Structure 1
Amino acid sequence: MQTGSRGMGGTVEICLLGAVFALADDAVVDLGPARQRCVLAALAVDANQVVSVDRLIQRVWGERPPLRARQTLVTYVSKLRQALLPGTATIVRRSGGYVLTVTPSAVDLQRFHDLRARALAEVDQQAAVCLREALGLWRGDALTGLDGEWAEAERARLHRERLDAESDLADVVLRLGHGEDLVADLAARAAEHPLDERVAAQHLLALHRAGRTADALAGYRGIRERLVAELGTEPGPPLQDLHRQILAADPALSGGPAGTVVRPVAVPRQLPAPPVPFVGRREELDRLDVALRDAPDTAMTISVIAGAGGMGKTWLALNWAHRHAGRFPDGQLFVDLRGFSPDREPMDPSVAVRGFLDALGVEPGRMPADPHAQAGLFRSLLAGTRILLLLDNAADADQIIPLLPGSPGCTVIVTSRNQLPALLIGHGAHHERLDVLSDDQARAVLADRLGADRIAAEAAATDELIELCGGFPLALSVISAHARTRPGLALGALAAELRDWDLGVLDDGDPGASLPAVLSWSYRALTPRQATVFSLLGIAPGSDIGPAAAASLAGLSPEQTRTVIRDLERASLISQDSRGRVRMHDLVRRYAADTAARLPADVRDSALRRVVHFYLHTAHAGDRVLDPHRPPIRLDPPGSATTPQPLPDTGAAFSWFDAEHANLLAAQRTAAGHGWHVAVWQLAWALTTFQNRRGHGRDQLTATQAGLTAGQHLGTPTVRTLTHRLVGMAYATDGRFDEAIGHLNQALDLAEGHEDHLNQARNHRALAWTWRRMGDNQKALDHATRALQVHRFLDNPVEEALSRCLTAWYTALAGDHERAAEHCDVGLAQCRRCGIREGEAAILDTMGYLGLQTGRHEQAIRAYEAAIALYRDIGDVCHLADALDQVGHPHALLGHNGRAREVWREALELYREQGRDADAERVQRLIDALEGTSDRHPVMGRSLATAEGS
């Protein structure tokens, strides 16, 4: 290598990607025979981490080491210490093994991994620079000059990582608009890896960009034939979609900054921060590595990490996931399934799927309403990708199975307190059982965190602390945190405190039984403010809490809250992610909730009331940002210690709602449990717009049902009217129309009985929308017309414009085209005057329909295209699909068959993504009816009707 890390006395570099040697003062160091160099390589691949003696021996000599292997290993290590430059790299003896201590950048393999990880987080231009630098570190095959089973296996693994990095770079360069300049390299790679669909897709796209579309199509036929012949399978959805785009000459394939990327979804990076430091569990990590390495190419890898609560399952899984993140260039997904949460039910798998779809970049309007369709879309998006799924804290296999992808390139890591035999038997999962740490491992943890000298100086006290912790990783973390923050206190004194407080391990055999004792000790060491905040965090609604909400919960300023949170984190009682969100281990949270029971009732209630009001007022402000035309509700002012979070724009509002949705539902449950009925129904109202746009139908039904119950307690007519309407609309969205009509009629009766004209009109509009969904256009028109009449009487321009949009559409559906056109003219002007873009798009859509029905096809096309442009601009892809579907008809009737195929193909794609199978099948028949036709050959209306199945 040409460069290295400058140490105290010179330059040292450990080079694995082509050789095994070191540079010192720019000269090659003689590292001795191959097995001695193999010792360096075996340590360098895990630089700065302990490698056990047994593991080193296995790596150097394989399964049949010589009789004096341990003595020979000591000799090799001694000679390597002499060869390496002092002050820059050294080999240190640690409990159970050795560690190569070196600056991470001095190991070329570490730099390769770091550069790949950086590329994932950079924009394409910088990502390309990182990947080229990473690949530039290679000077041939890895570990050149070494033999043996371990060296061969490691060489093969690193070769695969190199190929993955080359594919990553090709994806980035293609996204930047290149094509012709990549053809030769990609042709060679495709020939070398003829069944790799990712490489094939890159090659086909490069050929198409180079003007060689015929060669690209021939290439697709070739790989399809090979896949069918050799594997008995068709190409995956990504490759098939690319083929269709090439056939259609999709302009999005032209590339450039605005072009469509090879992967049509976002690249999620959801892994929480890695645990630092991480000590021990070396053998478990190695077994996870083996499970990944030995998995067949035709199957995905599933590993289950099982063990008692607080045994370090998530700690282990995250460490492994971050170490291997570079092997999953299409992203990493993470979800806490709350299988053993002290205050919440386990997460429904459909909720987890929905969160994954959001992370994969699926727009709300493209989200299918049916959970089964969402699961199907999730599996389709993962087909052909290499994504890591970390499914944390699972209750049982039923939670996991719906989340399993079908792609063999994906890897799934599951953590659970149960062994999940259904995954082991039915899905071939690898099982990793975590038990308590051995005394040697526990001692290594304490030595790493407190320093070897401090541990060695008080060996007896260390032994007693280890015994008190019982090998429990979380207990060790808490004790070491106390010892670090009190460096002047002898370990013997810490052990004496434990003895004096009589906090010994219980006798029931539970490995976690010592944790309450250790936490009790930790809790007693907190200041009064720290102890109060810790207790309140234990009863806060939701599984985590953001910084702003935590400040309101604590009743402190943001600065004071940050200080307390930092102190609690130093005590290992909580953890924070990169956004400052606070989490507690389930067992710690249960203990914190127990301590909260000792607080005065008014302290607990005041804290919960503050945080509920924080969520309510911030959600209300967010709703106003998302839908400024929605008539607001009036909230009581928040208390002086409650500070809502500012949400300046729609991006900030959606980000906050996405992060806090589960906590908002939990806050509503907390309010209901305390009888705070006003907050309950107001939270249901404040969540409506977000839940509608994100498609959280089931959660919306739950929230509005709670709001209705709260409204009944209050007895206020306006609140009862509103909550009946909210729950009725939620039932309609869920397809439960009988319940929907019943609640909406009750809302209407209440409004009429109290002469509440405004809510009468809104209820008529809700009934109109629901009857239309039920297929009764006449009833829909009757209610829409009555809503319009009332809003005109009230002289409310915005509400009148919204009602006129519905009236125009339902009038058109009823066949009164002239009257519908009049409504459209007036409604279009009203919507534009009031700035209601959704209404403007709806009116234009109706005008397109009228043009189509009256034979004015050019006029229909102009109206539909204007509506389509607006739908695209506001992100309403649900109505976009319908408009694309409709505009194809006048195009086909005018003989614009190419354009008709184009819009219908896009509509078909959208319908499939939204799970609208009947619409997709109908549009597919329309496309099939155009097969063999060319432009200027109109398709008669009867042919279209036949194709639609009418």
Structure 2
Amino acid sequence: MGDRLDFTVLGPLEVASGGVAVPISGQRQRTVLAMLLLSPGRVVSVDSLVEAVWDDRPPATGRTQIAICVAGLRKTFKAAGCADDVIVTRAPGYLLLPEGHRIDALEFERRIDEAQRLEQQGRAGDAARSFAAALGQWRGPALSGVTGRFVEPAAARLEELRLTAYEQSTALRLAAGEHRELIGELTGLVKQHPLREQVRAHLMLAQYRSGRRAEALESFREGRALFVDELGLEPGKVLRELHDAILCDDPVLTPVVQDLAPVAVEARVVPAQLPPSTTRFAGRQAELSTLNGLLSLSDNGSALPVGYITGMPGIGKTELALQWAHRVAARFPDGQLFVDLCGYDRDRAPLSSLDVLAGFLRALGVTDAGIPVELSERAALYRSLLGGKRVLVVLDNAASYAQVRPLLPGDGDCCVLVTGRDQLSELLGGPGSVRLRLGRLGAEESAELVRRVAAPGGGGDPADAVRIAELCAGLPLALRVATARLLSKPHWNLAHLVRLLEDRRRRLDELSVGERGGLRAAFEPSYHRLSPDAARLFRRIGVLDVPHFAAWAGAALLDCGVPEAEKLLEELLDAHLLEVQLSEVDGSVRYRVNPLLHVFANECAIIEENPGERSAACERAFGAWLDLASAARESAMGAFAPPGRVATWFSPEEVGELAGDPARWMRTERHAVLAVVRQSMRMGLVLLAWNLATCAQAVLAGSRVGAEERQLTQLLGELAS
């Protein structure tokens, strides 16, 4: 048997081998695989698979296409390292062999059976843990993303099993006195399943036992109104009797709760989990000084010091965190905890707080038997163990505040440092919070990193080191990959690497080797988390070769209104895939993209959009610049007319500013206009380039911007020839 495959159906359909995702291409393959996973070890007929894929309208070649899908799945599994066949042919169809592999749905049902058996034996604690382990298999709606009239009933069955297991688990937890912890979970579940009586009964009981009697009665009234309005029925016996018991404060609602067994903790352990930091580090002195401010807050001990380092992919968030953490580790004698939360990992799902807490508790000396099952209990024990201690907690690559919140100590003597790409606004704003948004490394700092690795003895052309630094666009990850390539290729010199990186078509290839996939692996997760419209705008920015642009240019690229474009631009800013700067001329907002991200965006556009879509987007944007430049020329001549053809792409304020001072507007846009003229010429849009250059030259001639005017004159000469 080759490598084990992990099949996931309790959530999105996924396959993994050794923790690495195995891609399943195409909806047909996913449907076929889902059908086989829903009947592991049993034959699924070809006719059933055909109906599952095409419902009642299968093509004449349906059976052949099913065979092609199965062959594709077999090939994919072998490529993932699985030596033996997972899917075998058995008349009248195919069979998936579950032996040696993991199917989360099978494991879920096995654990449910185990939990119910333990409960019957009177082992409530063990039963609760088994229920929790079973429910922990779920990552979303069963088989989400796979549709069809055969798959959907099976998904509904699994969902019903989950809800029933949750109800049974909740009954045990209520008996153990966890009513306060359950209120939030049950409130959300009641909103999702408002007609499920047992869930509502559990919520009412949890509210009552938490001293929230009025809320418990209100939960009953809300449920009764729903039952009457939607079903024409009164609530069932369970809800009615519970309501009556709450009204009269029946003592039966307050059971005797057994004390939990004491937590077993081994001899005092001082964790030292910080990974080594690289010696290839330069600059960031101001940022390190800012982080040092957390030390005084920790010494004070009044509020929990929390530092948050954010920025675009590859900007060096993790390295800065580790550099600072190692420098101050001695200030935290009770230990340093570290975890990569995998928030933006291309190949791994984000770690759950439940699993991270288990690892932290083990590091703090808690035995496996002493680790609670529930998240709230683990978090409480974690905070108790850190109480009064000086521990540094580094949470790298966080996906969300929900992932981070249970991992925050409750004591101000500790200190937390978080890195991530999202805003995590809930993490900030307190008296002990510090936020750092990292920008690119400076030119000299970047060149110093290249020189330090590539020419420790002073050899090599310094100009080549500077050029490599420029091509890496101030991204520490790009610089590390580039210098690592020089170290691994001793026969390369700086000039050779410059030649490779100057080829735009292969630049990302050269910078996506090693470092767990390099730049593409860093960029892709942020891109794939964008909304479809924001992703489209990002791609189209990649086909526009301008140094910076205003919001109306984004509207032109998408052929939408400016407000909609501004909303999408904000999404790109929040994802750190775009930067904002203020114009030196008039203070207006301009957008720009890191040069390496621009190359990545261009690649995405080439892969995901056809040439016609790309050209049309560029031509709309070019036309917007031309219309504004024409209006600026007319205004400069005293005959201003607002642009009409693409007026929806400009705000009234921009049009008014253009009319009021066309020369100032042109000074703001001059670099972008030059870039548009050049790109238009490359695309063969000669007339557009000529008209834009002549309009801009006429405006610039009276605004004392000599260099740009001379360049436009030169371009006009090239066009004329």
TM-score range, shorter chain: 0.3 to 0.5
Report the structure, 1 or 2, having the larger helix content. Answer: 1
Higher relative contact order (CA 8 A, sep 6+): 2
